[in-house]
Amino acid sequence: MAKIDNVLAILWMLRSGEKITAKQISEKLEMNIRSVYRYIDTLSISGVPIISDSGHNGGYTLMNNYIEAPLFFDFEEQTSLFHAAIFAEEAGYYGGEALNRVISKLRKYSNQEQETKINNHLTSLEVISRLSSLAMEPFLKELEQAVADGYSVKVLYLKSGEGQSKDRLVDPYRIIYWHNKWYVIGFCHLRKAIRSFRVDRMESLMITENKFNRPDNFSGSDSFMKNLLPTIEDKEEIISLVINGDKTALDDICQHWFLGHYLQECTSNQAVFLLEKGIIHTYVPYLLLPYGKSIRVIQPISVKKRLIEVLSELITFHQM
């Protein structure tokens, strides 16, 4: 165990409020008792008010008015916190203000040499992303509180494709950040099923007094992707989509968030997917068009025809 970890471990043991001896510390942390004395001296020198009582009932305690123990971060941990703050800011994280307070405290207790070194690593990272709207932060904070406390929320929600917003009563199980969007997933009382809702489509939100119990071993990511991706149910309607192309393009397609879900086989020059008829002729052509001439649909012929139809519609539209 590193020295800083040993010092912190002893400090947390002292915070229990009970008197503890050097022998008890050495046994608990499996270290030489002389090392315990050395670490106790290190804490005392750093300003931690440790009371040392000698004799038969002796031991170490902290002063009663010592409430907050100093928190030790090594250089790598400090750098990671700074980098995490950058990612959080770009994602529109609702706890950004609190993170900034943490960063300010780290800067406050860093000397000039430490701050210069951290700044060198801090400027080594940039995150390019679409920033989320600041207007969502209050909703995200309330949703997080509702998830943590187990209270249902009433939201006025505008679903895609619908012209009018509707009231929804939702038991929020998890908040999810996916593809630059914030979602909440939980039990929808209107649909009587688990659904996901985009936070930026919520026009109002209110935490109710209705308590709920989240299902045991609930996985937000699994449930979210299950809602997002259609499942293959009718075996007779399954069609094989075979695509040839260069390795780079095929690798990208095989890792696609949608198509990758239906991947059956992928080689250096061919990929095979199993999809339902409805999916293969609606979503798939639009997903394949951006790959241009780097890929070629081998089968079914109907997808090749649908690609031609889509391209023809685009040409006609832009010629108008």
For the entire predicted model, the pTM comes to 0.64
Cα separation, 158 vs 160, whole angstroms: 7
Contacts (Cβ under 8 Å, ≥6 apart) of 140: 92, 93, 94, 175, 182, 199
CATH class of 134-228: mainly beta
Place of tokens 């040499």: 113
CB 4 within 8 A of CB 74: yes
What is the fold of 3-62?
Arc Repressor Mutant, subunit A (1.10.10)
Q: What is the mean pLDDT of each run of 10 residues along the chain (320 residues)?
A: 73 80 88 89 80 83 63 74 82 79 72 76 77 74 93 91 86 91 93 92 94 92 82 71 93 91 91 88 92 94 93 91
CB 127 within 8 A of CB 90: yes
What is the fold of 235-319?
Alpha-Beta Plaits (3.30.70)
Helix (H) or strand (E) holding 225: helix 220-228
User: Can you give the residue ranges of every domain in the chain?
Assistant: 3-62, 75-122, 134-228, 235-319
| Tokens coding 265 | 């086989």
Q: What is the pLDDT of residues 235-257, one digit of tens each?
A: 567 899 999 999 999 999 999 98
